[in-house]
Chain A
Amino acid sequence: MNIRYFAWVRERVGVEEETIEVPGGVKTVADLISHLKTLDDNHAAAFEEEDAIRVALDQLHVEADTDLGDAREVAFFPPMTGG
């Protein structure tokens, strides 16, 4: 699965994009976040303030309890500040 990071989430993780193997037990966005936090200190730091993280599944905003389904791309980022 392709994972993308933006803004300070990207800075904390240290990469813009990565492809990871999703373990069998990971069904929802929240499951994926829990898994990512175990990868290393950078990921753990990026997802420390979990409530501040927004998620898009195949470029659509979703909530943490959303099933990953067949999504090819998941993106994590802080609340938006455009405009």
Chain B
Amino acid sequence: MIAIAIQFASACFGIGLLLNLWVMARTGTPGDKVLALDTMVINAIALMVLYGLSHGTAVYFEAVIIIAMFGFVSTVAYARFKLRGNIIE
């Protein structure tokens, strides 16, 4: 049961990734693109936790933590660039 649920959740987040990619590829504002990337990071986090879950291992935990932390930094950097041009001022 859990296995199927994991499959289901993975599929959901996976499709989410594809939808995000679609936003990336079609025309849109820079804000949309950054938002899509940010969402991809979230989906990626979920997928990695699910992967760890499906194999019953915590060895991928560190990667998730780092992605959670760094996804934020790059999103802010992209946004700052569009807002100010200069991301460190």
Real complex partners, A and B?
A: no
Q: Which residues of B contact A (CB under 8 A)?
A: none
